[in-house]
């Protein structure tokens, strides 16, 4: 299955919002982007975590980080901050 890739303006908005959240560790920008795109892939495909393509990272590591961010409300905050970037009728096509 093809990966989900954010265009540069989308990624920059996501990144700036993540950096503004004190509870988020962004770390290396390229790794953070790969992680966010992996989560978007899971969301788009509806696949199980174990089906995450290898180029997206280790599925268990991606899941653990996703889960930590979920518990901290990061995804909720981020979804409000970047909602204007996405066409929910035709997401990331």
The predicted structure's pLDDT at residue 90: 54
Task: Check residues 81 and 70 and name the one with the higher pLDDT.
Answer: 70
Look up the pTM and report it.
0.85
pLDDT tens sequence across 33-46: 999 999 999 999 99
What confidence tier does 69 reach under pLDDT thresholds 50, 70, 90?
very high
Query: CA 55, CA 84: separation in Å to the nearest integer?
Result: 28
Helical axes 8-19 vs 29-45, angle rounded to 10°: 110
Task: Give the Cβ contact number of residue 59 at 10 Å.
Answer: 18
pLDDT tens sequence across 1-54: 557 788 898 899 999 999 999 989 999 999 999 999 999 999 999 999 999 999
Q: What is the DSSP string of the chain?
A: -PPP---HHHHHHHHHHHHT-TT----SHHHHHHHHHHHHHHHHH---GGG--GGG--HHHHHHHHHHHHHTTHHHHHHHHHGGG--TTSTT-
The predicted structure's pLDDT at residue 4: 78
Of 51, 78, 46, nearest to 62 (Cα)? 51
The predicted structure's pLDDT at residue 82: 79
> Once rounded to an integer, what is the mean pLDDT over residues 52-64?
95
């Amino acid at each position: 299955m093809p990966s989900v890739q954010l265009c540069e303006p989308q990624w920059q908005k996501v990144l700036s919002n993540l950096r503004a959240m004190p509870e988020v560790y962004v770390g290396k920008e390229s790794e953070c982007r790969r992680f966010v795109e992996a989560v978007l892939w899971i969301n788009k495909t509806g696949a199980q975590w174990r089906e995450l393509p290898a180029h997206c990272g280790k599925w268990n590591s991606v899941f653990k980080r996703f889960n930590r961010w979920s518990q901290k409300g990061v995804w909720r905050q981020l979804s409000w901050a970047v909602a204007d970037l996405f066409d929910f009728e035709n997401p990331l096509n």
